[in-house]
Amino acid sequence: MVEKNIITLASSREPRSLKLDRLNQSLIRKLQTSLDLAELLDIFFSEAADWLSIDRMKYSYQGRNTTLARNEKARHSANYGLKLEGQQLGELTIFRSSKLGADELNDFECMLSALIYPLRNAIRYQAALDLAMRDPLTGIANKMAMDGQLQREIALVFRHAEPMSVIMLDLDFFKMVNDTYGHMAGDAVLMQTATIMQEVCRESDFPFRFGGEEFGIILPKTDAEGASIIAERLRLKIESHRFSFNGATIPCTASFGVSAYKPEDTRSDLLSRADRALYKAKQSGRNKVLIDLG
């Protein structure tokens, strides 16, 4: 007990600049442990809030905002545009109920210098991840992203006992589109299909390109009946759409397979059933929606 008091006394006599220096060294070490942007901001806010009694921090980057708060009402603020070697790294604003003095702002800027490199690395890492998860032709999610998303959705369904469905769709006679109008026209049809899918889907749905001329949609909180209504809507939209390339109009239809999550299903069970239904839709004449209830 006595020992503890002596230590506290000694550290409180330590010059502020030395303490800040030590804080910054430890902050750098902590920030180096993560490439996750949200986690970095969390670490930084926690340290800055402790040191300067900051109440709230807002970080904005490319239209996305993150706010961390201990007290929502603070009204005094200081704002920083973050930039490193010519690269914009967003904007950071701190809020406090009392005005921040010049020394405190100085301290904060010192802490910002510990944040800037890890922040740049996290932004680059996120951009690389985003790129790896997108289909380069259509811009929608690819199979790798779908795998991760389906895994997350299955975990949620498990926890909240809500329905979830999957639609798989495949453009009909797509080889003929390529053979008749050329590969570039085929690419244009694939891009327009992705756009139609995004238009028909809700915000919470997850459209993706599985590969080739095969696409899919994960539909959270949707049972087989709801999913087949969306699939039918999409089927009609594709059938009536005037796919166009270089002045040519390309008629195109798609076949659909729908499956709904059942307890104990793995990702591959769910996808296999949708695929089986899609196969049957192809076998029985194409341009139709079939459900596999398992």
Ligand X SMILES: Nc1nc2c(ncn2[C@@H]2O[C@H](COP(=O)(O)OP(=O)(O)OP(=O)(O)O)[C@@H](O)[C@H]2O)c(=O)[nH]1
Binding site for ligand X (CB under 6 A): 137, 170-175, 178, 183, 186-187, 190, 212-213, 282, 286
Task: Give the closest residue to 200 by CA, choosing from 239, 165, 233.
Answer: 233
Cβ count within 10 A of residue 36: 13
Cβ count within 10 A of residue 149: 17
Euclidean distance between CA atoms 232 and 225, whole angstroms: 11
First to last CA, the chain: 67
Euclidean distance between CA atoms 103 and 101, whole angstroms: 6
Per DSSP, the three-state class of 188 is: helix
Which letter, b or e, does each residue of 58-79 get, where b requires 16 or more Cβ atoms within 10 Å of its Cβ? bbebeeeebebeeeeebeebbe
Task: Give the closest residue to 228 by CA, choosing from 288, 138, 144, 141.
Answer: 288
Residue 83: what residue type?
Answer: K
Which C-beta is closer to ligand X: that of 56 or that of 235? 235
Q: Which residue in the shown chain puts its C-beta closest to ligand X?
A: 186
Per DSSP, the three-state class of 250 is: strand
Task: Give the closest residue to 218 by CA, choosing from 264, 258, 256.
Answer: 258
Which C-beta is closer to ligand X: that of 189 or that of 201? 189
Active-site residue set: 213
Euclidean distance between CA atoms 135 and 147, whole angstroms: 14
Judge contact between 145 and 208, C-beta under 8 A.
Answer: yes
